[in-house]
Amino acid sequence: MTLEQMKREDSIPVVIVNSLGIITYVNGAFEDAMGWESPAILGRSLTLIIPEYLRDAHNLGFSRFLTTEQPTLLEHPIQLKAVDRNGREFVAEHFIIAEKVDGEWCFGATIKELDGEERSGAGN
Amino acid sequence: MPEIEYGPLLRQLRSTLGKLEVALGAIDEAIVWTDHQGLIQWCNGAFDRLVQRPHFRNLGEPLQQLLPLEHAGAGSGGGGHPWKQAAEGGVIRGLYRFSQGESIRALEVSASRVEVDRQASIVMTMRDVTEETRTRERIRRLMRQNQLILDSAGEGVYGLDPEGRTTFVNPAAARMLGWAVEELIGQPQHQVIHHSRADGSAYPAEQCPIYAAIREGVARTVRDEVFWRKDGSCFAVEYTSTPIVEEGEIQGAVVVFRDSTERRLAEADTARRSRLLMLLQRITEAANEAESVEQVMRFALDRICAHTGWPLGHVYVTDPESSSRQLVPTRIWNTGADSRYDDFRSLTEVTEFKVGRGLPGRVTSTRQPYLLADLSQDPDFARADGARRAGLVSAFAFPVTVGSGVTAVMEFFSTARAEPDVFLLEIMGQVGRQLGEVIQRKRAETRLHQSNRDLEVFASVASHDLQEPLRKITAFGDRLEEVSGEALDDRGRLYLSRMTAAAGRMQVLIDDLLQYARVSSRGRPLERLDLDQLIRQVLSDLETRIEESGARVELEPLPRVEADPSQMGQLFQNLIANALKFRHPERTPEVRISGRMVSDSTRPWCEITVADNGIGFDQQYGERIFEVFGRLHGRTAYPGTGMGLAICRKIVERHGGTIAAHGDPGRGARFRIRLPARRDPGKEVEQ
């Protein structure tokens, strides 16, 4: 899957950020699922949709990738918690990709909320 | 105010954070921090590996559930999970156990609470010290075992640093050396316990084998040195100094030693016993070689004085003419030509003892060796004053026993006090018994020699004195027959003829007796002799008798011997003639003469065998046939005087040899002669 393909996705929430972790794109499904309208979230930090207690880990992991370019979470589905505009935490299957655009890394992710049966393991 | 460029700033911060994350991820210590609720906000790779979960699945998890910890009793903490204690404000540093399935890890945990943005966070670091703990535990156990071994070892063990200073000492070493362990630690070992040799002379450290092991890196074992105790006394030790080498560098030495006093005493005792047994053997051998009883005694005195170092030895003998078995002194002494003992000697030579009295009498009555450690303290020692003046302190004596009696007592005196020595006395008791046997044998030999001499003298004198009257009987008999033979009647002529025949036989008897006597008196010097040649000559002399009997004589090669040629000729003539005379009536006589070299425990011998197939004899007469006039058959059946084999034995014995006869009735006889293969120069057996 590529960033372009993600942008064509309209049934699953998609979010794209630049190398600074700033949201540059969300699709309609994202707006529906997360309660955010595009103008309100574009240009803001991705940490808006990450529970507060995971933000440090996110920042460190994100920074490590930019420093080492060695992925650990990319291109396979992983379960992580997310938070919507109302502060509701939920477990979602993330599929994250990274691509360089004009020499800068861009990241795209699909965020598919899981119900109880679909969750595995400890429920991240 | 210029517009802030957040992009580069963010990039820079990202870069810094990235490097920090990489650095934290690379260290071995597990690091985790949680929020105030205990949910994991971040952890590094070492933590992920510790809990064996993917990194992203640890994030947001409650730490206490993910990493249950149990205090292992070391460091602070102890009540509950370290996170909880840290959250309550404590700073925790301790050893915890983390169980995961069957694996139990030991973690050195550090936990503390920090305030970030007015929010409490807990940071915990964990170092996996499982292997370290196990190793430490193994080392601790090993050290405890080593300590137990060192503490319980009978041997002394101590360690030295490269400078030869004591680094450790086990209790046995300290006990043997008479020092407390702590007094020895750090001390220069050589100067403290090894400074002098057994004789008290200085022992330079540069010659010390213990230090040599440190210098040269080679273990040294020494069995005959001494260590010195704190109180200044020393004791015999055997020790091994083994260098301690670590990574090619000599770090010192370990010395293991044991008190070898008992071993050395045992060795010395064994050596002493061995020397005493050797003494017994030498005395016995020499006594056997001695030519007289007095010589036996003198030799025994000399050897015992030399062996024991006692300067004075003397022999008392029992007086055979005394009914009360008085012990009388002899002039047989060993004084080492020391004039100090002259008075004591004179006193002794006029002092007799009754059995049971004095040292000689006591030994005679008990038939046991006896030691008087202090002559001045023995009320029964009659010569005490004389002994005191001569400086004699101790004495021992032993009986020379012959059969059930005591024939002599050997007494010895020393100028130093002697302690009872059971083994010495035991050996001296054996010496006495051996000497007694030798003396008994010597006396028997002396009696036998005397009896032989008497017989020879008698035979010689008798034969010479008988010759003349016999010649007259024969001569007058012949003349009577010549002059009056015609006048005699038949009975008279019969008497005359029997008389002259008897005179003739007597002449033969006298000749044989003379021949027997002359074996000793007219023997010629021994010379190297070719027995083959000699026996051929004998066979030639016997040619007529051999032809008449039709005998077959087989002569095998014989060794050369040193012998009197004339007597050897006589010996073999008698034996071969004997074989022809006692031939079997139904068989062609066969005589076989053979020889060989043999050895027994005493010397090599030439053994010559003369065997025949004649009538033989019953072996019970094997000795009797060698007796003077010894006959097994009547004169009528086999003429002769019965002197032939007696002469043979006498010849062989004059040569220092032996002769033995083996008979098998009806099948033959075999005579075996042994002559010394090499003779001692100038030595001929006296008969």
Residues of B in contact with A68 (CB under 8 A): 18, 22
Query: How far does the CA of residue B123 sit from the closest CA of chain A (Å)?
Result: 14
According to DSSP, the residues that pair with B593 across neighbouring strands are B555, B610
Contact A53 B41 (CB under 8 A): yes
Query: How far does the CA of residue B31 sit from the closest CA of chain A (Å)?
Result: 13
Q: Where are the alpha helices (DSSP H) in B542-586?
A: 543-549, 565-581
Number of CB pairs, chain A paired with chain B, less than 8 A apart:
70
Of A20, A64, A121, the CB nearest to B18: A64
Contact A53 B60 (CB under 8 A): yes
Residues 6+ apart with CB under 8 A from B500: B473, B474, B477, B478, B481
A30-62 pLDDT, tens digit each: 999 999 999 999 999 999 999 988 888 899 889
Of A54, A66, A81, the CB nearest to B41: A54
Query: How far does the CA of residue A110 sit from the closest CA of chain B (Å)?
Result: 17
- Taken in order B509, B513, B518, B521, the sign of the CA dihedral is negative
Query: How far does the CA of residue B40 sit from the closest CA of chain A (Å)?
Result: 8
Q: DSSP letter at B62?
A: B
Strand pairing class (B552-555; B590-599): parallel
* Predicted TM-score of the model (pTM): 0.43
B49 touches chain A (CB under 8 A): no
Q: Please report the residues numbered 626 through 645 in chain B whose beta carbons come closer than 8 angstroms to any beta carbon of chain A.
A: none
Residues of B in contact with A81 (CB under 8 A): 60
Is the ipTM, as predicted for this complex, more than 0.95? no
Question: With contact defined as beta carbons under 8 Å apart, do B654 and B687 qualify?
Answer: yes
Residue A121: pLDDT above 60?
no
According to DSSP, the residues that pair with B595 across neighbouring strands are B608
Chain A residues near any Cβ of chain B (below 8 Å): 19-21, 51, 53-54, 56-57, 59-68, 72-73, 78, 80-81, 121-122, 124
Residues of B in contact with A20 (CB under 8 A): 6-7, 10-11, 14
Contact B39 A122 (CB under 8 A): no
Using CA atoms, how far apart are residues B585 and B578, in angstroms rounded to an integer?
A: 14
Q: How far is C-alpha B308 from the chain's CA centre? A: 20
Show the low-confidence residues of chain B (pLDDT under 50). 680-687
pLDDT top residue among A107 and B510: A107
Contact A57 B57 (CB under 8 A): no
Contact B42 A122 (CB under 8 A): no
Contact B18 A67 (CB under 8 A): yes
Residues of B in contact with A66 (CB under 8 A): 14-15, 18
Contact B14 A81 (CB under 8 A): no
B261-274 pLDDT, tens digit each: 888 888 888 888 88
B114 touches chain A (CB under 8 A): no
Instruction: Report the chain B residue with the minimal C-alpha distance to residue A73.
Output: B56
Instruction: Report the chain A residue with the minimal C-alpha distance to residue B8.
Output: A20
Question: With contact defined as beta carbons under 8 Å apart, do B580 and B591 qualify?
Answer: yes
B502, amino acid identity? A
pLDDT confidence of residue B324? 60
Using CA atoms, how far apart are residues B17 and A21, in angstroms rounded to an integer?
A: 14
| Sequential DSSP letters for B605-628 | EEEEEEEE-S----GGGTTGGGST
Query: How far does the CA of residue B18 sit from the closest CA of chain A (Å)?
Result: 4
Contact B21 A78 (CB under 8 A): no
Query: How far does the CA of residue B122 sit from the closest CA of chain A (Å)?
Result: 13
Question: With contact defined as beta carbons under 8 Å apart, do B508 and B501 qualify?
Answer: no
Q: Give the helix/strand (H/E) hosting B268.
A: helix B261-289
Q: How far is C-alpha A103 from the chain's CA centre? A: 21
Query: How far does the CA of residue B119 sit from the closest CA of chain A (Å)?
Result: 11
- Taken in order B182, B187, B190, B192, the sign of the CA dihedral is negative
Q: Which of B475, B15, B550, B643 is nearest to A62 (CA)?
A: B15
| Sequential DSSP letters for B70-139 | EEEEEES--SS-HHHHHHTT--EEEEEEEEETTEEEEEEEEEEEEEETTEEEEEEEEEE-HHHHHHHHHH
Contact B21 A64 (CB under 8 A): yes
Query: How far does the CA of residue A103 sit from the closest CA of chain B (Å)?
Result: 14
Question: With contact defined as beta carbons under 8 Å apart, do B327 and B317 qualify?
Answer: yes
pLDDT top residue among B116 and A93: A93
Round the average pLDDT of chain B to a whole number and report it.
Answer: 86
Residue A104: pLDDT above 50?
yes
- Taken in order B326, B329, B334, B338, the sign of the CA dihedral is positive
